[in-house]
Structure 1
């Protein structure tokens, strides 16, 4: 039986995280688990109470919000398992989820990263993820397969190699992690798991989805509220991902596409919807790349708790 380290990150959602811990205790049937919870600078530190309640779980507190990648990297550094399963705190597991993922990884040593099928928690039977299409590096566009569809097993034959894992639930082989390293923290939010897939592929491994394994995700089906922070990082990181992973000529063509198509489209959208404050945020997301290297740790956006 291979040891598995569960890593999850909490940020101002203690009850949601506790629901996940209960799911791992009550529902999960995989025996050899190490559970690590990273609190990413929540306003109220839940760790002391958790340490008194959950004696067998490792809790780590960061006094700085290090984002999705940084929080997971903190947990990764604490993990001892042969496989590491990074899951959002707003997920709940199914009984044989971890067993199925481990068995699939054991059967194919080429797999570096793998995700399960994901259903929306509030809409059981509705798909969120069954894999990703490859990235078009000229437009920085790809698609999530099956999202919002009723699960009738129509994609189950797609188990195997996929474009990218889903950041809500991804299991990594320790050997692949050691070769590729952790996630790039300068993304902070969005695109970091896609970049991680690219680096793990470059390290000689494959990216898979196992559609016999299922996890539930509490992310809303409705589109969440757009914020300045989200608008900044979605646009900055879209460019950053191509800048880091595409050849120079391809990046140049992407920049031409972005300036000719995305910039006017977004500006028209902001004006039409009277989202005038987003114009400066959007421009800042673009101009960040004129003053920062691709590996710069300058996030370019003021973060508040």
Structure 2
């Protein structure tokens, strides 16, 4: 039985994280687990209390908020499993979830990453994810298959290769990380898992979804439905992803599309909805690219604890 290292990141959501730990203990049936929780610079340090309450769990405290990629990378570096299962702290597992994903990796060595089907926690039966389409590198857009649809099994035949894994739940083969490297931390938040999937694919592996496995996700617990943080990194990182993963000519076409369609559309939206505070954030996310290369560690945004 392969050893699975569960890695999850907490940021100011101790109760949500404890709900996940409870579901891993009470619901999950797979036994050969190592559970690692990284506290990513929360205002209040929950680790001392957790270490007493959950003696079988490995807790790591980061004094700084290192983002989604940074927090997960901290956990991966300490992990001893054959497979690493990265799951958001705002998820809850189902009984056979881990077993099914382990079997998928065991049976097909070409799979580097596999994600399960995702339902919204507050609306069981509603799909959040049943796979991703491939990226359109001219528009910087792709689609999440099945999102907001009632799950009637209509996508279950899509089990197999998919465009991208979902960052809320992805099981990765240790050897794939050895070849592709860790997640790029300069994304900080959003698009880092898509970039990682591209690198893992270039290392010779496939990205799969297994719709026999199910996890529940409490969407946007940490960031919120709309925030300046989200607007900035979604915009900056969409551009960064295209810069990193396409040719100069392709990126030039994307820039023309972005400035001709996305820029005026977003500005009009902000004005119509009186979301004036997002306008300088949106512009700052774009202009970041004028003075930073693709490997820059300058986030361009002050992240509050």
TM-score by length of 1: 0.98
* Rounded Cα–Cα distance in structure 1 between residues aligned with 2:220 and 2:235: 22
- The secondary structure found in structure 2 opposite 1:157 is helix
Deviations 1:231-261 (A, max 9, x none): 1111100000000001111111001101111
**Equivalent residues of 1:120, 1:220 under 8 A apart:** no
Q: Which range moves more in the overlay, 265-274 or 89-98?
A: 265-274
> How big is the shift at 1:280?
1.2
Q: How does 1:122-133 map to 2 (within 5 A)?
A: 122-133=122-133
Identify the residue that residue 117 of structure 1 maps to in structure 2: 117
Deviations 1:62-102 (A, max 9, x none): 00000111000000001010000000001111111111000
Tell whether 2:265 aligns with 1:274: no
Identify the residue that residue 214 of structure 2 maps to in structure 1: 214
Report the number of matched residues.
304
> How big is the shift at 1:279?
1.5
Q: How does 1:203-282 map to 2 (within 5 A)?
A: 203-219=203-219, 224-282=224-282
- The secondary structure found in structure 2 opposite 1:38 is strand
Tell whether 2:15 aligns with 1:15: yes
* Rounded Cα–Cα distance in structure 1 between residues aligned with 2:273 and 2:74: 39
Identify the residue that residue 159 of structure 2 maps to in structure 1: 159
* Rounded Cα–Cα distance in structure 2 between residues aligned with 1:15 and 1:47: 13
Tell whether 2:131 aligns with 1:140: no
Please tell me the root mean square deviation across aligned C-alpha atoms, in Å.
1.2
Q: How does 1:26-175 map to 2 (within 5 A)?
A: 26-175=26-175
Unmatched tracts of structure 2, length 5 or more: none
* Rounded Cα–Cα distance in structure 2 between residues aligned with 1:220 and 1:51: 26
> How big is the shift at 1:144?
0.4
**Equivalent residues of 1:92, 1:216 under 8 A apart:** yes
Q: Which runs of 4+ in 1 moved over 6 A?
A: none
Deviations 1:94-138 (A, max 9, x none): 111111000011110000011000111111111110000000000
* Rounded Cα–Cα distance in structure 1 between residues aligned with 2:277 and 2:147: 31
Identify the residue that residue 195 of structure 2 maps to in structure 1: 195
> How big is the shift at 1:166?
0.5
- The 1:225/1:214 distance shift into structure 2, 3 A limit, reads closer
Deviations 1:126-157 (A, max 9, x none): 11100000000000011000111111111000
Deviations 1:243-285 (A, max 9, x none): 0001111111001101111111111111222222221111111
Deviations 1:137-187 (A, max 9, x none): 000011000111111111000000000011100000000011011111100
- The secondary structure found in structure 2 opposite 1:98 is helix
* Rounded Cα–Cα distance in structure 2 between residues aligned with 1:274 and 1:218: 28
* Rounded Cα–Cα distance in structure 2 between residues aligned with 1:101 and 1:227: 33
> How big is the shift at 1:224?
4.7
Unmatched tracts of structure 1, length 5 or more: none
- The secondary structure found in structure 1 opposite 2:198 is helix
* Rounded Cα–Cα distance in structure 2 between residues aligned with 1:243 and 1:131: 24
